[in-house]
Amino acid sequence: MFSKSIQSSLRRLIPPIQIHVWGGLGSQLFALLALEEAQSRYWFRRFRIVFHSSGVTERRPDLIGLLPQGLDIAILNDFSVSSEFDSERPIASICGSSIRSHVVRLLQRMRLVASWDDASSQPAFWTLQIRGHYRMLRVTPDSMNRVFKRILDDKLEIRSPHFDSMNAMHFRIGDLVGLKGIIDPKSLIGVAKSIQNRNKLKFQILSDSAEIASDYMSDIDLYYSDGNLGTWETVEVGYKSEVFVGTLSKISYWIVILRALGRPGMLSYLPRTSAEEITDYLAHYKIMARIIPYDYALFETPPELVE
């Protein structure tokens, strides 16, 4: 057996595994699962988490307070108006676009660059970089529980007014304008009215475009707050609400996942395809959740929003 000092010296000699992160809080939380799982598998390696600002809109790191103490953190300001997610971009900048795909395939075949998004490119103990969206990443129950406890202890102790006596709806609009991802408000109004007919509680609209979303949802009984809530406040309120209605967003997915873990008896609604995906995802952890699917149509964004 090596002594602790020798083990520590060996760890310093080996380059850290870099976990690259793109996207908003929802994507970052899946990346946090990736970090937790990798650290538990490869405890003898050091780690660095690399946040990228590039995306449809400029992203910022929302995980800083949840990361393990002493973790090496890097923030790359690589956002541009025309930028899109490309997990191979840094390799391309070194190698040139003409040979990029060959280099990437070689590195992935060697598993020096790995991605949990691709079953053929799983991380190994010699991996140098882990990249991807980490969408619906399945980890061990222990890794999931550790991440949940960290979120519960650090982020879900409500400091704002309690919202467990009202319903909440997450209606993402902002960075989906011009894209085919906004759910038609008529679909949401139908769901909301059926809920209010039963519990008679007002809806808090959680949105990155709160005023616009509230205007669209004016046919239901709303609780009006002051402006847009922050990302973590959105998660807090959705987590604590009596009934939660989510849309096509990873933040919605995480609110439902956290409710299933911490408030398993509470009711959540999701678009049908998302509800099936989350139900299957939670089944991996042997967690039963009260998730009701709803049918929906996508919204044709009005020209005034695109402008």
C-alpha gyration radius of the chain: 21
pLDDT at 175: 57
Spatial separation of the C-alpha atoms in residues 257 and 52, rounded to whole Å: 25
What band does 307 get if pLDDT is binned at 50, 70 and 90?
Answer: very low
The pLDDT tens digits of the residues spanning 25-61 come to: 999 999 999 999 999 999 989 999 999 998 777 888 9
Residue 274 has pLDDT above 90, yes or no: yes
Spatial separation of the C-alpha atoms in residues 151 and 93, rounded to whole Å: 36
Give the global pTM.
0.85
| Residue 202 phi, psi dihedral angles, 5° rounding | -70, 160
Residue 94 has pLDDT above 60, yes or no: no
Q: What is the mean pLDDT of residues 283-293?
A: 92
Q: For residues 65 and 56, which has the higher predicted lDDT (pLDDT)? A: 65
- Domains of the chain are 4-154 (3.40.50), 167-306 (3.40.50)
Count CB neighbours of 200 within 10 A.
9
Spatial separation of the C-alpha atoms in residues 184 and 166, rounded to whole Å: 23
Residue 267 has pLDDT above 90, yes or no: yes
Residue 92 has pLDDT above 50, yes or no: no
